Amino acid sequence: MASDVAKPVLCAEALSKRFGGVVASDRIDFSLRRGEMRCVIGPNGAGKSTFFGLLCGILRPDAGRVFLKGRDVTHLPAFRRVRMGLGLTFQTNRTFHALTVAENLETARRASARDAADDAHFRAAYAAFDLAGSARLLARELPHHQLQWLEICMALRRGPDVLLLDEPTAGMSPGETMFTADVLKMLSRDGLALIVVEHDVAFVRKVAETVTVLHQGAVFAEGPVEAVTQREDVRQIYLGRVREKAG
Amino acid sequence: MLPELTSILYQFGTNAAFLLLSALGLIVILGMMNIINLAHGEFMMLGAYAASFVVHRGMPFPLAVIMAFFATALFGIVLERLVIRRFYGRELGALVTTWGISLILAQGALLLFGPYMPPIPIPGGAVSVGVFSFSVYWLILIGISVVLVAGLALVYRATRFGLQARATMQNPIIARSLGIRTGQIYMLTFGLGAGLAGLSGALLAPTTSIAPYMGQQFVAPAFITVVVGGGANVIAGAVGSSAFLSLIETPVSLTLGTFYGTMALLVMALMVIRVLPAGISSLGARLRPIVAR
Amino acid sequence: MMRTLRLLNGAHDLGQGRVFWSGLALLAVAFLAYPVVASSFTATNVAYYLLNIPMALGLSLLWGYGGVLSFGQVAFYGIAGYSYGIVAGNLQEFAWGTVAAAITALLAAGLSAAAFGYFVFYARVAAWIVPILTLVLALLLATFLGLTAGYQWRVGDVQLGGYNGMTGIPALQIGGVTFQDYAFFYLVVLVVAACYIALRVWVNAHRGQVLMAIREDVLRTELLGYDVRLEQLRAFVIASVLAGVSGVLYVQWGNYITPSAIGLQQAALPVIWVAVGGRDSLLAVAIATFLLNQLTYVLSSSGNQSALVIVGGLLVAVMMFAPEGIIVGVGRARWLRALKVRRWSAHPGHGE
Ligand SMILES: Nc1ncnc2c1ncn2[C@@H]1O[C@H](COP(=O)(O)OP(=O)(O)OP(=O)(O)O)[C@@H](O)[C@H]1O
Ligand SMILES: [Mg+2]
pLDDT 10s digits, C130-149: 999 999 999 999 999 999 98
B52 within 8 A of B117, measured Cβ to Cβ: yes
B53 within 8 A of B178, measured Cβ to Cβ: no
Residue C171 has what DSSP assignment?
Answer: P
C232 within 8 A of C68, measured Cβ to Cβ: yes
**From the candidates A16, A18, A50, A58, which should be mutated to test the interface with B, based on the most B CB atoms within 10 A?**
A58
A185 within 8 A of A128, measured Cβ to Cβ: no
- How many C-beta atoms surround the C-beta of residue A223 within 10 A? 15
Q: Is A126 exposed, middle or buried (0-12, 13-18, 19+ CB in 10 A)?
A: buried
- How many C-beta atoms surround the C-beta of residue B62 within 10 A? 11
Asked whether residue C219 carries a pLDDT value surpassing 90, the answer given is: yes
Distance from CA of B286 to the nearest CA of A (A): 9
| pLDDT averaged over every residue in chain A | 88
Asked whether residue C349 carries a pLDDT value surpassing 50, the answer given is: no
C340 within 8 A of C329, measured Cβ to Cβ: no
Mean pLDDT of A179-195: 94
Q: Measured on CA atoms in the order C44, C47, C48, C51, is the torsion positive or negative? A: negative
Quick one: pLDDT at residue C67? 94
| Ligand 1 close to Cβ of residue A45 (< 6 A) | yes
Of B6-15, C241-250, C336-345, minimum mean pLDDT range: C336-345
Asked whether residue C50 carries a pLDDT value surpassing 70, the answer given is: yes
Measuring CA to CA, which residue among C87, C212, C243, C221 is closest to residue C155? Answer: C87
Mean pLDDT of B47-71: 95
Quick one: pLDDT at residue A116? 52
Residue B1 has what DSSP assignment?
Answer: -
Using the beta-carbon criterion (under 8 Å), do B277 and C119 form an inter-chain contact?
no
Quick one: pLDDT at residue B146? 94
Quick one: pLDDT at residue A194? 95
Asked whether residue B287 carries a pLDDT value surpassing 60, the answer given is: no
Secondary structure, 3-state, B61-111: HHHHHHHHHHHHHHHHHHHHHHCHHHHCCCHHHHHHHHHHHHHHHHHHHHH
Greatest mean pLDDT among C129-138, C147-156, C232-241 lies in C232-241
pLDDT in tens, C91-102: 988 888 999 999
Give the CA distances from residue B24 to residues A181, B195, B232, C78, C180, in Å, rounded to whole numbers and listed in that order: 57, 10, 15, 32, 51
pLDDT in tens, B196-211: 999 999 999 999 999 9
Q: Is A115 exposed, middle or buried (0-12, 13-18, 19+ CB in 10 A)?
A: exposed
Measuring CA to CA, which residue among A179, A199, A189, A190 is closest to residue A244? Answer: A199
Using the beta-carbon criterion (under 8 Å), do C132 and B273 form an inter-chain contact?
no
- How many C-beta atoms surround the C-beta of residue B198 within 10 A? 31
**From the candidates B42, B90, B103, which should be mutated to test the interface with C, based on the most C CB atoms within 10 A?**
B103
Using the beta-carbon criterion (under 8 Å), do B259 and C144 form an inter-chain contact?
yes
The phi-psi region of residue C15 (left if phi > 0; otherwise alpha if psi is between -120 and 50; otherwise beta) is left
CA atoms within 13 A on the CB side of A183: 23
Quick one: pLDDT at residue A111? 64
Phi/psi at A29 (5° precision):
-105, 135
CA B171 to the chain's CA centroid? 25
Quick one: pLDDT at residue A6? 63
B234 within 8 A of B36, measured Cβ to Cβ: no
Strand partners for A17: A25
Mean pLDDT of A119-129: 92
Q: Distance between CA atoms of C325 and B289, rounded to whole angstroms?
A: 36
Which of the four pLDDT bands, split at 50, 70 and 90, describes residue C344? very low
C286 within 8 A of C196, measured Cβ to Cβ: yes
Instruction: Give nearest CA residue, ligand 1 atom 18.
Output: A47
Give the CA distances from residue A161 to residues A36, A101, C148, in Å, rounded to whole numbers and listed in that order: 10, 23, 59
- For chain B, say whether C339 makes contact (Cβ under 8 Å): no
Give the CA distances from residue C284 to residues B186, C211, C291, C301, C324, in Å, rounded to whole numbers and listed in that order: 35, 19, 11, 25, 11
Q: Which amino acid is at B69?
A: F
Q: CB neighbours of A79 closer than 8 A, spacing ≥ 6? A: C222, C223, C225, C226, C227, C228
- For chain C, say whether A102 makes contact (Cβ under 8 Å): no
Using the beta-carbon criterion (under 8 Å), do A58 and B291 form an inter-chain contact?
yes
Q: Distance between CA atoms of B163 and B150, rounded to whole angstroms?
A: 16
Q: Mind listing the domains of chain C with CATH numbers?
A: 2-346 (1.10.3470)
Which of the four pLDDT bands, split at 50, 70 and 90, describes residue C306? confident
- Cα of A48 from ligand 1 centre, angstroms: 8
CA A224 to the chain's CA centroid? 18
Which element (helix H / strand E) includes A20?
none
Q: Distance between CA atoms of C178 and C174, rounded to whole angstroms?
A: 7
CA C184 to the chain's CA centroid? 18
Q: Distance between CA atoms of C123 and B273, rounded to whole angstroms?
A: 6
pLDDT in tens, B13-47: 999 999 999 999 999 998 888 889 999 999 999 99
Compare all CA atoms of chain B with the CA of A51 and give the residue at the minimum distance.
Answer: B293
Using the beta-carbon criterion (under 8 Å), do C319 and B104 form an inter-chain contact?
no
Which of the four pLDDT bands, split at 50, 70 and 90, describes residue C343? very low
Using the beta-carbon criterion (under 8 Å), do C220 and A90 form an inter-chain contact?
yes
Quick one: pLDDT at residue B2? 79
Higher local confidence (pLDDT), C9 or A125:
A125
- For chain B, say whether C71 makes contact (Cβ under 8 Å): yes
pLDDT in tens, B62-83: 999 999 999 999 999 999 999 9
| pLDDT averaged over every residue in chain B | 89
Quick one: pLDDT at residue A147? 94
- For chain A, say whether C210 makes contact (Cβ under 8 Å): yes
Asked whether residue C352 carries a pLDDT value surpassing 60, the answer given is: no
Secondary structure, 3-state, C78-128: HHHHHHHHHHHHHCCCCCCHHHHHHHHHHHHHHHHHHHHHHHHHCCCCCCC
Strand partners for C145: none
pLDDT in tens, B114-171: 998 999 999 888 888 778 888 899 999 999 999 999 999 898 888 888 888 888 888 8
Quick one: pLDDT at residue B291? 37
Phi/psi at B36 (5° precision):
-95, 120
Q: Distance between CA atoms of B135 and B265, rounded to whole angstroms?
A: 24
Asked whether residue A126 carries a pLDDT value surpassing 70, the answer given is: yes
pLDDT in tens, C67-96: 999 999 999 999 999 999 999 999 988 888
Share of chain C above pLDDT 90, in %: 70
Measuring CA to CA, which residue among A27, A13, A1 is closest to residue A217? Answer: A27
| pLDDT averaged over every residue in chain C | 90
- For chain A, say whether C157 makes contact (Cβ under 8 Å): no
- For chain B, say whether C223 makes contact (Cβ under 8 Å): no
Quick one: pLDDT at residue C336? 54
Asked whether residue B9 carries a pLDDT value surpassing 50, the answer given is: yes
Mean pLDDT of A139-163: 93
Question: Residue-wise over C285-296: b if at least 16 C-beta within 10 A, else e?
Answer: bbbbbbbbbeeb
Question: DSSP 3-state assignment of A198?
Answer: coil
C65 within 8 A of C207, measured Cβ to Cβ: no
Bridge pairing between strands A37-41 and A193-197: parallel
Quick one: pLDDT at residue A2? 45
Quick one: pLDDT at residue A201? 82
Q: CB neighbours of C5 closer than 8 A, spacing ≥ 6? A: none
Asked whether residue B290 carries a pLDDT value surpassing 50, the answer given is: no
Give the CA distances from residue B89 to residues B77, B194, C218, in Å, rounded to whole numbers and listed in that order: 18, 19, 17
Q: Mind listing the domains of chain A with CATH numbers?
A: 34-59+75-241 (3.40.50.300)
Asked whether residue B250 carries a pLDDT value surpassing 70, the answer given is: yes
| Ligand 1 close to Cβ of residue B287 (< 6 A) | no
Phi/psi at B56 (5° precision):
-80, 0
Q: Distance between CA atoms of B155 and B162, rounded to whole angstroms?
A: 6
Q: CB neighbours of C20 closer than 8 A, spacing ≥ 6? A: none
Mean pLDDT of A222-245: 75
- Give me the interface pTM, i.e. the ipTM: 0.91
Quick one: pLDDT at residue A239? 61
Question: DSSP 3-state assignment of C226?
Answer: coil
Which of the four pLDDT bands, split at 50, 70 and 90, describes residue A59? very high
Residue C66 has what DSSP assignment?
Answer: T
Q: Distance between CA atoms of B263 and C322, rounded to whole angstroms?
A: 37
pLDDT in tens, C11-42: 888 888 888 899 999 999 999 999 999 999 99
Give the CA distances from residue A112 to residues B152, C206, C207, C221, in Å, rounded to whole numbers and listed in that order: 55, 10, 11, 16
- Alpha carbon distance, N-terminus to C-terminus of chain C: 36
CA C278 to the chain's CA centroid? 14
Which element (helix H / strand E) includes A8?
strand A8-19
